[in-house]
Structure formats: C-alpha cells, structure tokens
Amino acid sequence: MSEPLIFEHSRPGRTAVVQHPSRAPSADVPQQFRRTRPPALPEVSELQAVRHYTRLSQLNFSIDTHFYPLGSCTMKYNPRACNQLAMLPEFLARHPLAPAELSQGFLACLYELQEMLKEVTGMRGVSLTPMAGAQGEFAGVAMIRAYHQARGDHERTEIIVPDAAHGTNPATATMCGCTVVEVESLPNGDIDLEALARMVGPRTAGIMLTNPSTLGVFERRIREVAGLVHAAGGLLYYDGANLNAILGKVRPGDMGFDVIHMNLHKTFSTPHGGGGPGSGAVGVGERLLPFMPVPLVGKEGDRYRWLDERDLPQTIGRLSAFMGNAGVLLRAYVYMRMLGRAGMQRVAEYATLNANYLLARLVQAGFEPAYPERRASHEFIITLKRQAREQDVTAMDFAKRLLDFGFHAPTTYFPLLVPECLLIEPTETETKETLDAFVDALVAIQREAEQDAAKVKGAPYTLPVRRLDDVRAAKQLDLAYVPGEH
C-alpha cells in the first residue's frame, strides 16, 4: 500500500477546468510586481485529485476507523451532527466582519456556549477566542501577569510547574516572559507540598496545574495547594487537558483555580483533524475578569453584540485576526446541547469507568501500573520497564506492534517521569468489547515478547510502511518535493 506524490500524477497542460472562473480577464499587474514563473503546483484532473486524497486518507488511523486510546488527548467520538450543523451554508458564508444585526443567530450560539462553559467549570467569565490549548495557556499566564502588573506587583515573574507537566506549560511561561520553577511529585503522584511551601513567595506569579495530573491521578490536596499559593499572593492556573475526567464531578472554580483553559477538541469532542484545529477557551474567576482576551460576546436585552477593547480596557488583547476558531466553537456548542445537563455529568463517570476497568484487566493480566495504590482517573499509566529489562522490548515496541493488531498506540514516554510508560485513555465512547479486545492484544504482544522478542521489535508489519528512520529524516532534511530529485 503506497501512493505516489500528487506531483507524480501531474502532466503539463492537464487541468480541472470546471473549477476555473469562466470569466477571467488577464491580470492587470505592472511588470515590476508580476510573477514570471508559475508556482510548481500539480496539474491533475479532478478524478486524479479525488482518488489520490481519498487513498491518502485510507493510510490513516482515526477515531472513525480505530480505537485510539492516546492518553492526554481524549480521542472520543466526534458526533457527525456537530460537523454538519457547524457547516450550514449560512454559517460558512458568514464573513467575520459582518455586522451584529446580521449575526444574531451565530452570536446566540457563542453566547450560550460561554454561559455553559462557565457553569461546567465554575468560573465567572469565559473567552472563546484562543485558537488552541497552547494559546489558551498563553492567555491564562498573560492574564496572571497583567493582574500582578495592574497591582504594581512587578516582581512576580515566577511560574511554578510540576515536574510531570505537559511541555506546553513551561514553554508558555517562558513565552510570557516568566521564569519556570519545577516542583517535584511524590512517589504516590501527589505534589510535594513541603517543597511547594518552600518555593512560594513574593516572586510567585502563579502555579500551573493539571488535575487529575498527567500521571492520571487526582491531586487530593488541591485545596492545600490553593491555600499555599494564594496566601503567598500567587494565582492558580488550571490546564484543562484532563477536564474529561472531572466534568460534572468537581469544578476547577470550586477547587480554587483563578484561570483555566479548556481544550474543546478534547472534552467537548470537536475533531482533532490530523493535528488541529484545536480551540482553547479560557475561563476566569472574579479577579481576572477585566483582563480576558477579546472579543467576547455580550447580551443586552435580547440582542447580542461583540465586546472589545472599549468594553474591557485592561484586556490582554487579541489572539487572532477575528474570533478564534469560530467553526470549532459551533461544533462544541452542538455537542453540549446534545449532551445536556445529565449527559455532561455522565462524561466523567463513564470515562472513569472505562479507564478503571481497562486498568484492572491489564493488572490481572500481569501488567504493572505506575501508581498501583491509586484510582485511575479517565486515564492511567502502565510501565513496561520489566519487559524492557527482561526481554529488551520497549514501550515503543509495544506501541508499534499494537498498530498491527488494529489499535492506535497509547501515548508513549509521557509523562517523562515514568520509565517505559504507556499513558492509556479509553474515553467514555468505547464499548466494553473494544476494551476487552485491546487487553487481548496487549496480552498477545506480551506473549510474543517472551517467545520472540525480535518479532515485536520489528513491528509494525501490516501498515503502509515499516518502522521509519527518524534519524535520517532529521539529518538528511527533505521537506519539499523538488522535481527531478525524487
């Protein structure tokens, strides 16, 4: 199974002419501004393009085709209705600068989405404009900075981040001009409170936490963490990566967080699209309301309108040219309306049930959990350090062999704290039968590892390509097709 590059299907003079505007006078461009050689785009028929890209799609694993238990990514079913309704012709044709009088239907959806997200997170205000989780994080830390600066508290530039944190947390803090201080996790997965107590002080801007943490366990002493940081004058940032674990069970606002970002592409089921678009709405408590990124949607009487710099003069500003990933917001809105009050509270229940069931089955089958004394949240970690030591079969080998069994691999080697780890997140939309089949596959691979380790180490065998040479990819950089070179 392989497909040539689209450029290799190309023949000079071949075009999908039905796609050209029939009335196109020649361009009116003075010589000095004119392009002299056309770009090297393919010249193919419409059928060739359709067949080529359809074939490429068939080389992918996806939620629609495979179980995709990628920890920390919440690969749940993306309901088709969400896509279809966000792509109604009127929504697609709406220009971002269309006046509010011609946008009341669209604005109503966004306003209600803001309100629903406030309710499920326990925050006082929500801004939908961040275009991805990392931009939501940026907005969150920028608001924390703006808050301290507005109070004349200019020394607060340290952001505390747990050692288990997602890489975006420290990267975001740096991007916001803060320095990063790492706090360690205890062997049971909780934060080391004594170490934290020594760290906080007059330089503390805030702490960035995920709860449940990236270790897949709930931070039980969260109120003490909040108390310590608040007493020292810092604020608490909630990374919404794992919001699926607690939706309807405990709200970040009630845990004491001052600002959170939500990954609408995880918890609220908008598609991941092969790596985006995401959407990273932020929620804030009372103290950060004036600093939210704009635009927001406001309601006066029964009329909706945009709120901008004139309404929030202390805003951290704009993060996108218009209104973030508006179409993603509509998808999340439709999802939340279909789940409703009761459905929203069931998400965490069944995500947690599936994770704990899968963990229990794997432990029974002899796999080693990273935190055996803890409950799994919506995800959990197993460590394959014994297999690596005894059979020289690594977590990556297991991951690659799982592909042959028709399962996307779990997240590997994250969090970095746990050696040879698989971070497994089944989500609430999977059946028990699928989870059982996944256990069977891991058990079969374990048996192979004991009997014929080379077989596991050589995987995958049934995919479009065998294991790829990443070192060569980085050393002999080939980032674009150049005719004649391939």
Q: Shortest gap between Cβ of 290 and other proteins (angstroms)?
A: 15
Of 52 and 450, CB closest to other proteins:
52
Of 319 and 441, CB closest to other proteins:
319
Both tokens of 376, joined, read 């799994």
**CB distance 453 to 391 below 8 Å:** yes
Rounded distance between C-alpha atoms, residue 4 and residue 44, angstroms: 13
Of 431 and 451, CB closest to other proteins:
431
Q: Count the neighbouring beta carbons within 10 Å of the beta carbon of residue 452.
A: 12
Of 364 and 450, CB closest to other proteins:
364
Helix (H) or strand (E) holding 368: strand 368-369
Q: Shortest gap between Cβ of 409 and other proteins (angstroms)?
A: 5
Q: Count the neighbouring beta carbons within 10 Å of the beta carbon of residue 104.
A: 13
Whose structure tokens read 């799994």?
376
Rounded distance between C-alpha atoms, residue 26 and residue 31, angstroms: 13
Of 144 and 196, CB closest to other proteins:
144
Both tokens of 282, joined, read 């932020």
Q: Shortest gap between Cβ of 262 and other proteins (angstroms)?
A: 14
C-alpha to C-alpha distances, 478 to 9, 53, 158, 481, nearest whole angstrom = 20, 21, 40, 8
Rounded distance between C-alpha atoms, residue 330 and residue 195, angstroms: 43
Q: Shortest gap between Cβ of 279 and other proteins (angstroms)?
A: 8
Rounded distance between C-alpha atoms, residue 195 and residue 49, angstroms: 58
Looking at 66-152, which runs of residues are DSSP E strands? 125-127
Cis peptide before 293 (omega within 30 of 0): no
Q: Shortest gap between Cβ of 398 and other proteins (angstroms)?
A: 12
Of 84 and 390, CB closest to other proteins:
84
Q: Looking at residue 243, what DSSP letter applies? A: G
Of 57 and 389, CB closest to other proteins:
57
Q: Shortest gap between Cβ of 58 and other proteins (angstroms)?
A: 6
Cis peptide before 30 (omega within 30 of 0): no
Q: Shortest gap between Cβ of 309 and other proteins (angstroms)?
A: 9
